[in-house]
């Protein structure tokens, strides 16, 4: 069975090529998705809906990735840079007109039976708003 860092790397590899199905394949059916400044979404359907919304509003590629895992492969974390383009205005945020941004971010993971069962992502929303305003 793959170890936590390998599972997390495969999840982010799928993200970087826009492969939502590949991301979903790494998730448990009861995935808990904690987004920065947002509500917790539970389940693959809610996760897929979030991905579709993000794909509509943003084009992002993650670089400078560093991935960590604990000794029993139940927890992991990643630090990275989000390189993005703001394509379509997201509700409650500044108007989009193709602005680019570069933002440090991090994610924390819980894993069970070789699948990700919790994803928590953090970034500095004020910094992002400043970059796109």
C-beta separation of 82 from 127 below 8 A:
no
Q: Mean of the per-residue pLDDT values for the chain?
A: 96
Where residue 110 sits, what CATH number does that domain have? Answer: 3.10.450.50
pLDDT of residue 39: 87
* pLDDT value at 132 more than 80: yes
* pLDDT value at 45 more than 80: yes
CA angle at 92 for the pair 59 and 108, rounded to the nearest 5°: 55
Percent of the chain with pLDDT over 90: 95
C-beta separation of 40 from 34 below 8 A:
yes
* pLDDT value at 30 more than 70: yes
* pLDDT level of residue 38 (50, 70, 90 thresholds): confident
C-beta separation of 31 from 117 below 8 A:
yes
Smallest CA-to-CA distance from 9 within 122, 133, 116, 131 is with 116
Name, in order, each residue with C-beta under 8 angstroms of 20's C-beta and a sequence gap of 6 or more: 14, 48, 51, 52, 55
- The structure tokens listed for 50 are 């979030």
pLDDT of residue 89: 97
* pLDDT value at 1 more than 70: no
* pLDDT value at 2 more than 80: no
Mean pLDDT of the region 35-64? 95
Domain region containing 87:
4-132
pLDDT of residue 22: 97
Summarised one tens digit per residue, pLDDT across range 67-115 is 999 999 999 999 999 999 999 999 999 999 999 999 999 999 999 999 9
- The structure tokens listed for 113 are 């039976």
Per the structure, the count of domains in the chain is 1
């Amino acid at each position: 069975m793959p170890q936590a860092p390998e599972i997390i790397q495969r999840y982010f590899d799928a993200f970087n090529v826009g492969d939502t199905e590949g991301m979903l394949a790494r998730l448990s059916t009861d995935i808990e998705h904690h987004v920065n400044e947002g509500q917790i979404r539970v389940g693959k359907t809610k996760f897929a809906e979030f991905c579709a919304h993000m794909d509509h509003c943003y084009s992002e590629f993650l670089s400078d990735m560093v991935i960590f895992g604990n000794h029993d492969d139940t927890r992991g974390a990643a630090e990275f840079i989000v390189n993005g383009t703001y394509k379509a205005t997201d509700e409650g945020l500044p108007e989009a007109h193709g602005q680019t941004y570069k933002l440090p971010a991090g994610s924390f993971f819980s894993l069970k039976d070789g699948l990700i069962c919790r994803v928590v992502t953090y970034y500095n929303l004020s910094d992002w708003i400043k970059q796109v305003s």
